[in-house]
Amino acid sequence: MTHAGQLSASLLMALVLWIPSFSATIRGDLELPTAAFRYLAAFALARIAFGLLSRLVIAYAATPTAPEPAVDLGDGQEVPARRSSDPLTERGG
């Protein structure tokens, strides 16, 4: 996710988290500076959450899976790896 995408998602998530405070401000139950601080807190929380989520996705996407190495029998021969068409044993291996 790009930085612009993270920022957009963070702003929208903060707005969703802030809706109850907005309702209370419109009704007059909450002062404007308190509502603004709550939006700032919701934005900071959403920004951190989307940043961590983005790093996690990038880290998993960048990790290659290594192929299983063949077993060397010691005399120059290697045990071949399993094929998908090989029948499974009762032990599941």
What's the CA gap between 56 and 79, in Å, rounded? 37
| Single-letter amino acid, residue 84 | S
> What are 5-50's pLDDT values in tens digits?
899 999 999 999 999 999 999 999 999 999 999 999 999 999 999 9
pTM, rounded to two decimals: 0.63
Domain boundaries of the chain, sorted by first residue: 3-62
